[in-house]
Amino acid sequence: MTRHHNDDAPNALSHLPSEAGAHGAAEASRAGALLRAGAVAAALALAVSGGAYAAVLGAGAGAVPLTEAQARLGAPTSAGQAVATAAALDVSTTQVVIETVTEDVADPHGTVEQESSSLAAGTTEVQTAGVDGVVRTTYQVVTEGGVEVSREAVSSVVVTPRTDEVVLVGTASASSTSASGGSAGTTPTTTTAVNDGSVWWSLALCESGGNAAINTGNGYYGAFQFTLSTWQSLGGTGYPHENSYETQLALAQALQARSGWGQWPACAASLGLL
């Protein structure tokens, strides 16, 4: 029996490890390429703005994807939806305005009643007409969003002084008015200053022209132009111009003794008394 030696068999087997190594190298190369591609994709994903990514996630399944620029600017989607991160980017736009406002307010006049023995009891007469005053006040006003939140007065000035109405109330009985010659409003016994050459005659002439019954409605009465309050403080009754010149002279002398010639500054100065 003859055995044949096949020289080709070992050669065939010797090729098998070589082919397997080549195949493994190809697979390794392909895996490396895939890994590199995945890394690039991951890097690109990280480069996208976190704001844009959050906007897409926060908008929900029905949201329209935004570009990075839209996410940064808070732009609406094409469907009119607000960007999911708009609340975080909200900035108050309430406008605060500080302005000066001037207002005029009426100051209503009052009524003062004065008894008068020259009027019959139960009768009245308006001595001084009342005038409402006007006060102008300036405020600093602060508004937020068109709503006033504070108001502070910074200045106030009287534009028109208030003048109270003065009403005379008669106290004289019918018999007393009849005995005095008549009607309400009877003038004093002596209505003009007596020219005795004294300084008092000169003062009365300067103040009122010597007319003891004068009442011009300016708040000063009689020959020596008393105010009602001064007249009453001296013990005078009624109004100065309702009394005789002699009574007015006596109270003028009492006033000068108490307060000096300065009670009649202009006329006293012109007469050389100051």
pLDDT at residue 53, as a whole number? 44
Q: Is 33 exposed, middle or buried (0-12, 13-18, 19+ CB in 10 A)?
A: exposed
**Percent of the chain residues past pLDDT 90, beyond the cut:** 37
10-39 confidence digits (pLDDT tens): 444 444 444 545 555 556 566 565 556 555
What pLDDT sits at residue 33?
A: 58
Token pair in block for residue 23: 């195949």
Q: pTM value? A: 0.34
* Residues above pLDDT 70, as percent of the chain: 59
Q: Label residue 199 by pLDDT band (50, 70, 90).
A: very high
Report the distance separating Cα 147 and Cα 86, nearest Å. 26
Position with higher pLDDT, 242 vs 16: 242
Instruction: Determine the pLDDT at residue 84.
Output: 46
